Each structure stands twice: as structure tokens, then as C-alpha cells.
Structure 1
Amino acid sequence: MIDDADHAEPTLLDAVNLAYNPLLKPAQRLACSSPSGKALLPPACDKVLEWHQLATHWLGNDPQRNWIPIHHPLYPASLLNLKDPPLLLFAMGDLSVLALRSIGMVVSRSASRQGLQTARDFAKAFALSGWAVVSGLAEGIDGASHRGALQGEGPTIAVLGGAIDSLYPRCHEPLAHDIVQHGGLLLSEYPPGTAPQPAFFPRRNRIIAALSDGLLVVEAALRSGSLITARVASELGKPVMAIPGSIQSTHAKGCHAMIKKGALLVETANEVIDETSATLAPGRKSFDVLPLPTEEIADSGVSEGALSEECRQVLSVLDFERCGFDSLVQRLQKPADWVLSALTELELEGWVFNEAGNHWIRAK
């Protein structure tokens, strides 16, 4: 782990005081972050001393737990382009991941099942191509993106909206553990002991945008935090891409608005990789990967030609927009149990999704 012996200035106490002292205004913090500005730091108050104690306890002697002050050699240079870069980062996992070329993946939390599958497939394809995946460990597509990267045996970075020792949502604690165990990284600008708060999550998004070499929005409502991330990425000169959806879907409205404003419409993982590669900063690294499959996104189920005749009939009348079960029965002019049996087989093979209200949607 990084310790005070590795860098004489600042000490952990100095870094905590700089980042969190309530007496300092944002502009003052940046001025005090340079070696010459250290003398301007006010004395550590009781709250700073408490945070320092909590941070020291959390770090312990675990080599996977680290703190990275601004201007340290391991601090991500891309974060310095932000108007308000985090002055101190806490990390758990492999710090070398920060040097890898990466693609950020964001979305609103209320994702559709089709969106979740798309995120997993794209993230897996990125990992198989040697790209790390950056996301926010939130419910929905964030979690699906991290899982997809792990399925592709690639590292992934989770930028948190709270302290690393106060993971949110709690249901993603096993996922966070898997990320660290498989060579990824958990990253937070908040000190140990800090509970997640609603205001933290939009601020977390700027770090995702800055860390990523390109940003992909899989699904987004019109008032989604994903749009904040996309705006920051665009301001930083990063390519911003969006996957289109149905004009009737609220999950696609934000993506369509972004595309109208200049985001690149993409349909495949290779398009995202090509666009991001075109503006990749020098020095960004890859990692060893297995050869990419012939098909960019490998299907886990059987091919359409190998499906039963009943399943192929259902697919012939089911498209990529939600369709109620009763409507399917009417279109097919078949008994309800016949249709349900075919849908069940198709769902097991990954060809369809069953959404709330007994609605069905084609997945591929």
C-alpha cells in the first residue's frame, strides 16, 4: 500500500485536512494542494482528526487498501482536467488498473431487462478486447456492466458515491468483492466512515467521465444522471456514444436526446472501441486478453435455426418492443398454453425477456 514513507509530502493527515477541512473553500483547497501552498493549510480540526483516525484504521496493513493524494505519481492525470478534481482518493484493489485504456458505461438505475443484457454483452466484449470498464456500482446497468467485464475476464473500476467501507447498495457487496478479487478497483473520494448521500452520486459521475477514454450511455431517461456524466465527458473532449431504443420507451428518451445533440449512435461494441481508439491518449495500456470470438457478442443460447418450429413462429410476430401476452396469443391464433410453452423455451435460451405485467420483448 502507499504509505507516508513513499512520499514525504503530504502525510495522510495533511491530505485529509486538505480534502475535508470545513474551513476551506474549493478555490483555497486547490491553492493549498501544491507544496508551496501547504503553509496556508489551517490546523486540523476535530472532525479532520476523526476522519484521519477512521482512514488510518481502515487502511491498516492491507496492501490492497490505499490512499492517493492529488499530485502523487499514481494519481490519475485525467482527473486533473476537471474543474474540481478530487484532492484525495481512497482505493481498494489493483492500482495499475488506472493506467489501462477504459470505457465508461452509465445509465439510469431503472433499466429494462433488455438494457441489462445489452450492458453485460457490451462490457464483456470490451473486456475480451482488452479494455477496462468504468461504472458506478449502482443498481441496474452499472452492476450489469461490472458483471459483464468480469465475465470477459477483464478488470473493472467501480467509482462509488460514498466511502468504500459504506458500500451502497448493500446488495452489491458480493459484486464489489468480486471486482477486487479479479484485479479490479474500488475508488472513492470520500473518507472511510462517510455514509452515501444523494448529492454524492452526481459528483461521482464526473470522476467516471474523467477516468474513461470514451463514454457509452446504454439507457437513460430524459432526467437521468447519465446525462450529467455525458456532458462532463464531452467537455473533457472524450467521445460520447449512445445506444438507441424504441421511440415509445422512456428508457431511450435520454439516449435519443443525446444523439440529437451530437452523441454518436452506436449499435455494436466494435463501434464503441473504434471511436474511443481514435482519440486515445498516449500511454494508455491494454491487458492480456483471449482472442476475440468470431461473433463480437457471443450468444449463450442456441441459434435461431436450431429452435423448435413453435419458437420460430413466436419470434416471427415478436419484435423489440414490449408486447402483452394476450396480444401474442391473438397474433399467433394459438392456445395460451402453446404460446407460454414456446416463450418459456425462448426465455431459457436468451431470445426473449419477460417484463412486468406479463409483457414480452425480443432480446436478439
Structure 2
Amino acid sequence: MTTQEKFLTWAYVRRVVEASRVDLLDMLWPDGWDQAGPSQVRAVADALARRAGTLPDALADATSQRYDHDPTADAELAAARGWRLVTPEDDEWPTELTASFVRMADSGADHDSSVRGQAAAPFALWVRGDMRLDTAVRRSVTVVGTRAATRYGEQVTKSFAGDLADAGFSLISGGAIGIDALVHRAALQSQIPTLVVMACGLDVPYPKAHAELFEQIVAAGGLLISEYPPGTPPARHRFLTRNRLAAALSQATLVVEAPLRSGALNTLNWAEAFVKPTFAVPGPVTSHASLGCLERIRTSRATLAVSARDLIEELSPLGEQMALGFGAEDRSELLNWEHVAVIDAAALPSGRGPEGRLPQLVEATGLPARTVIRCLRDLEGMGRLRREADRWIRVE
């Protein structure tokens, strides 16, 4: 295929399939979607367009109203506005994005009722902005919170986001009114790239009041990112699905201010499913806007963060290890007493003994939640622990 034919083919599949699906990933990469490399996108596009017999029934049903789409208009709009379609075939596809879904795959975490939205790994992302996607997220934190931010929330967000940006972390958020917008503006002020993960097409600024903000973000070297093709309107289920990308792209997720029922907590759920550090800022116990954060801290599902330093100290060593590309053999040499304590607190293969869930691991080891999470990632990479739903089990 020529470059243009390849672009049109990917644009067609991206238009026809909503978000992502495991059956589609299996068709695109028969040897495993986590292996990336060349895909079978031409064969998949042909099967979708012709309703071929090789098309899984569920996928055929899900695309029955879109399969006859002509991708030419999407390609022309992308060319006119400087958009690109990034896929795992491209060298700017972030390895951490794929790794996040590998960690979650087959664990059952995506079926947990607290993680709502389509859970399959993404297969193509519309991107607007000049910076490479992999470079933009290499050292990054997702920062989210309520749309109805209080004065306290605004102050805390500006402090955390500004300090993280000054420390060299790019900031990822959802572009919404409230905490999200404050995050993006703090990054702009610190002259650090910020990324907006959208729940609609790149040509549908949502909210409309932030159209100028999005232009400023792109002009300053940031990125707008979406799974959804041009013209796609925002919808509740798309926000929940979008949240998984915001959590998967970064090294950690921080919730600054959130009530008990909040889309920000949904993003935190995804980060937890990806086995990534989760942080929450405490707030007044009398503030409805902080109850979600306080509950996550109380139940050890998020580490208490009182300043950006809490994240910076935790993530900088982790970022250095990721940049060096330590493999399982390297990590096996890093076993320390904290690793041993976590192994001892994990569930036994027989199902007897400790429950092996994060709150129990924190209680049994006496270690901070962020340290336990880091150890869990190390031990899974070493093959010492495996995950089943929200339980960690020893491998013997």
C-alpha cells in the first residue's frame, strides 16, 4: 500500500469501529496485539466493508450501521488541519500505552464494576499537534478533578500542576471545565506541553468555551488526542471510555478534588487497573467536593498527596528505570525486603491464606500504598506474582 492508501485504510477502520474491541485487535494482530508491528489492517478493512464470513458476528453487528463509510472526507479534513492518525505500527506509538493494557489483560480488572467503559486497548489515535506522542508522555502525570471546583480545589490544582510542570512532567487531562482546565493552564504558564484526551472528534471542541484554550495548547507544543473520528459528538459513555486513555498514557494519576460520584474517580479506577500509582489530595471533611478523594485515601486505594513533591519523589526513580529499559532479568536483581514483605502478604495459589487485595497488602506490610504498588509492578515483571481481578497471587 502507498502511504495515502494506508492512511485511508486506517481512517476507515477508525471511523467504522467505536473506540476499540478485543475481536478487532485479534484480527489486526493475529499473533497478539501486544506485539505491535505490521498489522492486517487491509484485510480487516476489506472484511468490514464486504461483511465477509471471517468477520466475527459481534463485530459485524456492532459495525452494521457504519461499514459503508467513505474515509476520503476524514483524510481531507486531517490534511487540511494538520492531524495525523497514530497506530501501533508507527514509531511514535507510546510503549507505555500498550504496556498498560498488557498488565490489565486477562486480569479481570476490566470487568470490575468500578471500571466502566470499553476496556480494550486502543488501535489508532487521532492526534493534533507537532510533538511526538511518545515523547510527550514519556515523563507525564494525569491530573483530574471535579468540574465544580471549589476555591480550595483551584488553589491546590494550580500549586500541584505548576510544581509538576516545573519539575519537567507533561500534564494530561480531559479539557473539561473546572480542575482539568486549571491543569492545562498551569502547564501553559510553565511552558510545559499538556495533552488533552478528548471524548469527541478533534473538530468538536468540548466544552465550546475552551475552543481558544485548545488552540493555545496546540500552539504551545501540546497535543489534542482522540479515538473518535471527526464530527463525533461527546457522550457519557465516551467520557468513561476516554478516561482509560488518560490513565494509560501517563506514569501516574492524581485526583485533586472529587465528590464520591465523579468521572475523575473513574480515571483513578483505570489507573488502578493498570497497576499504576494513584494519588489523591485530601480536602476538608465538610466539603462534598473532597469526599471522593478522602474515601480513596481512607481505603488505601490512593496515596495521600500533600504536595507535588510526593509525586515527584515517587515517579522520578520509576521514570529513570523505564527510560533505561530494565528487563525482567534486571529487576530480579532488585529484590529487597519490601518486595519480600509484599510476596509474603500476597494470596497463596491454593486460595487459602491472605486475601491478596491492595488494602490488605498495605495493612499487612505496613508500607505506603505507593510503595506496595511499585513492588507489585516489579514482582509481576519478575514473574513472582500474578494478578486475578483485584487479587495478587504468588507464583510458586
1:44-75 per-position Cα deviation (integer Å, ceiling 9, x unaligned): 3784564623321221255x421112332212
Whole-Å separation in 2 of the counterparts to 1:272 and 1:13: 41
Deviation at 1:153, TM superposition (A): 1.1
User: 1:56: which partner in 2?
Assistant: 75
Structure 2 gap ranges (5+): 30-37, 51-64, 102-118, 325-396
User: 2:131: which partner in 1?
Assistant: 95
User: 2:153: which partner in 1?
Assistant: 115
Pick from 199, 203, 207: which aligns with 2:245?
207
* TM-score in terms of structure 1 length: 0.70
- Determine helix, strand or coil for the equivalent of 2:236: coil
Structure 1 gap ranges (5+): 285-364
Deviation at 1:279, TM superposition (A): 2.6
1:303-333 per-position Cα deviation (integer Å, ceiling 9, x unaligned): xxxxxxxxxxxxxxxxxxxxxxxxxxxxxxx
Task: Work out whether 1:274 is the aligned partner of 2:305.
Answer: no
Q: What does 1:278-297 correspond to in 2, within 5 Å?
A: 278-280=317-319, 282-283=322-323
Root-mean-square deviation (CA, aligned residues, Å) is 2.6
- Determine helix, strand or coil for the equivalent of 1:109: coil
Deviation at 1:273, TM superposition (A): 1.1
Q: What does 1:322-341 correspond to in 2, within 5 Å?
A: none
1:264-315 per-position Cα deviation (integer Å, ceiling 9, x unaligned): 111111111112224325229xxxxxxxxxxxxxxxxxxxxxxxxxxxxxxx
Task: Work out whether 1:245 is the aligned partner of 2:283.
Answer: yes
Residues 18, 29 of structure 1: 8 Å contact kept: no
Task: Work out whether 1:77 is the aligned partner of 2:116.
Answer: no
Q: Kindly provide the amino acid, as one letter, of the partner of residue 131 in structure 2.
A: L
User: 1:68: which partner in 2?
Assistant: 86
- Determine helix, strand or coil for the equivalent of 1:95: coil
* TM-score in terms of structure 2 length: 0.65
* C-alpha distance 260-246 of structure 1, shift in aligned 2 (>3 A): same
* C-alpha distance 217-177 of structure 1, shift in aligned 2 (>3 A): same
* C-alpha distance 36-11 of structure 1, shift in aligned 2 (>3 A): closer
1:158-205 per-position Cα deviation (integer Å, ceiling 9, x unaligned): 101101100100000111001000010000000011111121111111
Q: Kindly provide the amino acid, as one letter, of the partner of residue 283 in structure 1.
A: A
* C-alpha distance 56-255 of structure 1, shift in aligned 2 (>3 A): same
Residues 220, 226 of structure 1: 8 Å contact kept: yes
Deviation at 1:113, TM superposition (A): 2.1
Residues 213, 239 of structure 1: 8 Å contact kept: yes
Residues 162, 194 of structure 1: 8 Å contact kept: yes
1:248-273 per-position Cα deviation (integer Å, ceiling 9, x unaligned): 11111100111123211111111111
* C-alpha distance 23-243 of structure 1, shift in aligned 2 (>3 A): closer
Task: Work out whether 1:31 is the aligned partner of 2:26.
Answer: yes
Residues 305, 311 of structure 2: 8 Å contact kept: yes
Whole-Å separation in 2 of the counterparts to 1:103 and 1:233: 11
* C-alpha distance 24-164 of structure 1, shift in aligned 2 (>3 A): closer
- Determine helix, strand or coil for the equivalent of 2:91: coil
Whole-Å separation in 1 of the counterparts to 2:19 and 2:314: 41
Residues 124, 150 of structure 1: 8 Å contact kept: no
Residues 122, 148 of structure 1: 8 Å contact kept: no
Query: Which protein is richer in helix relative to its size?
Result: 2
Pick from 205, 211, 214: which aligns with 1:167?
205
Whole-Å separation in 2 of the counterparts to 1:127 and 1:216: 14
* C-alpha distance 76-195 of structure 1, shift in aligned 2 (>3 A): same
Larger radius of gyration: 1
Task: Work out whether 1:44 is the aligned partner of 2:49.
Answer: yes
How many residue pairs get aligned? The number is 279
Whole-Å separation in 2 of the counterparts to 1:246 and 1:214: 24
Percent identity between matched residues is 33
